[in-house]
Amino acid sequence: MKNILVVGSAGQIGSELTLALRDIYGGGHVVAGVRKTRPSEKLVETGPCEVVDALDTDALVSVVDKYKIDGIINMAAILSGTGEKNPMLAWDVNMNGLINILELARERRMKQVLVPSSIAVFGPTTPVDNTPQETILKPTTIYGVTKVAGELLGDYYVKKYGLDVRGLRYPGIISHETLPGGGTTDYAVAIYYDAIRQKRFTCFVDDYTRLPMMYMPDCLKATIDLMGADFDKLSHHCDYNVGAMDFTVADMVVSIKKHIPDFEITYEPDYRQEIADSWPNSVDDSAARQDWGWKPDYDLDAMTADMLKAIGEKHEKSLI
Ligand code: SER
């Protein structure tokens, strides 16, 4: 690929992925597509930024033509929590946005489309421990429904049109640059901010809740490595399980207390508890390991140390 468009560049993953790709492909070759959210200074300073809404096909086409885009990464999505509050919006953004991108990529014979999926494709009847690559996909959230459909749609474009579409099932992603928005796993980010700001946190899921999680540097590595993998070596296309670590909220508290001994937590589970309970504890990612050499670097304690340091520095500068 020569010129990449990242749709959803202002989001939690998009903001960091765009910068990482600019380091590899060159600033001018990676266009940050943002919708309404103001892009960060870093995004504006390091390369082109354009207003892109995947639901506005004309605007999408004009950006693709202007920059001779030959690869699209679609990071725009309505996540699980927000999706339950507005299922029609989730369907519209997650499905119609995706098919607009796939159709444009097919018409322009683009080199690659990356469409992330999620652990939200799994549901309460899926095996919870070491969830296999091939398993029951019966999610109970609209977000999960759109992610299963998105995986199937991407695979369809591979088979029917020979378009190179790839995707991986992200676990909960934890980071300190851009806040996540509207996900069930957002508590695993918020806990670090509140630990630094006030040494206490009220958690919207209970202490026993265990989910697969990943630190942002591993998320960037997984995404970039999958993008660069040899197409012929891929035994899957849009649905790679990728694991890194899994832990309960209680485990997070232990890890944080190693740095902030008087940290306190209270639990007030809400509607997101049921969502979290429907997702796996851990995933089997041996296909990703075999096909494109996936291997995570961070565990819970390494991530906690890094998160608290980064957020602590922001706090000292009154940036949070
Ligand atoms: N982080 C997402 C969510 O919680 C899962 O992919 O909705």
> Are 25 and 77 found together in one domain?
yes
Does residue 288 form part of some domain? Answer: no
| pLDDT (mean) for 100-120 | 98
Q: Which residues line ligand 1 (CB under 6 A)?
A: 79-80, 118-120, 143, 170, 172, 183-185
The pTM (predicted TM-score) of the whole model is 0.97
Q: Is 74 exposed, middle or buried (0-12, 13-18, 19+ CB in 10 A)?
A: buried
If asked whether residues 189 and 130 sit together in one domain, one would say: no
Q: What percent of the chain lies above the pLDDT cut of 70?
A: 100
pLDDT, one tens digit per residue, over 37-96 is 778 899 999 999 999 999 999 999 999 999 999 999 999 999 999 999 999 999 999 999
Instruction: Examine the domain organization and report whether 223 and 273 are in the same domain.
Output: no
CA of residue 180 to ligand 1 center, whole Å: 9
287 in any annotated domain = no
Q: Which residues contact 297 (CB under 8 A, 6 or more apart)?
A: 215, 217, 218, 221
Q: What's the pLDDT score for residue 231?
A: 97
CA distance 3 to 98: 19
pLDDT at 319 over 90: no
pLDDT at 130 over 90: yes
The answer to whether residue 193 sits within a structural domain is: yes
Closest residue to atom 1 of ligand 1, CA basis: 172
In whole angstroms, what separates CA 76 from the centre of its chain? 9
Q: Are strands 71-74 and 117-118 parallel, antiparallel or unpaired?
A: unpaired
Residues 185 and 310 in one domain: yes
In the Cβ-directed half-sphere of 261, how many Cα atoms lie within 13 Å? Answer: 0
pLDDT at 38: 77
Ligand 1, atom 2: nearest CA belongs to which residue? Answer: 183
- Residues that are catalytic: 143
pLDDT given at position 66: 98
Q: How many domains does the chain have?
A: 2
Q: What is the pLDDT of residue 146?
A: 98
Percent of the chain with pLDDT strictly greater than 90: 97
Task: Tell me what the mean pLDDT of segment 116-130 comes to.
Answer: 98
Find how far residue 198's CA is from the centre of its chain: 28
Whether 23 and 122 share a structural domain = yes
**CA 80 to ligand 1 center in whole angstroms:** 6
Whether residues 267 and 201 fall in one domain? yes
Asked if residue 20 belongs to a domain, the reply is yes
* pLDDT higher than threshold 90 for residue 211: yes
237 & 107 share domain: yes
Q: Which atom of ligand 1 is nearest to the CA of 83?
A: 7
Average pLDDT of the chain is: 97
Domain assignment of residue 254, given as a range:
173-213+244-281+299-319
Q: Strands 200-203 and 264-267, how do they pair?
A: parallel
Dump pLDDT digits (tens) for 258-284.
999 999 999 999 999 999 999 999 999
207 & 184 share domain: yes
Residue 194's CATH number: 3.90.25
Greatest CA separation for the chain: 58
Ligand 1: distance of its center to the CA of 172 in Å? 6
Per-residue pLDDT, 91: 98
Segment 14-20 mean pLDDT: 98
Report CA(32)–ligand 1 centroid distance (Å). 22
Q: Which atom of ligand 1 is nearest to the CA of 81?
A: 7
Is the per-residue pLDDT at 121 higher than 90? yes
Q: Read off the pLDDT band of 229 (50, 70, 90).
A: very high
The number of the ligand 1 atom at minimal distance from the alpha carbon of 182 is 7
Higher pLDDT, 319 or 3: 3
DSSP lists the bridge partners of residue 200 as: 264
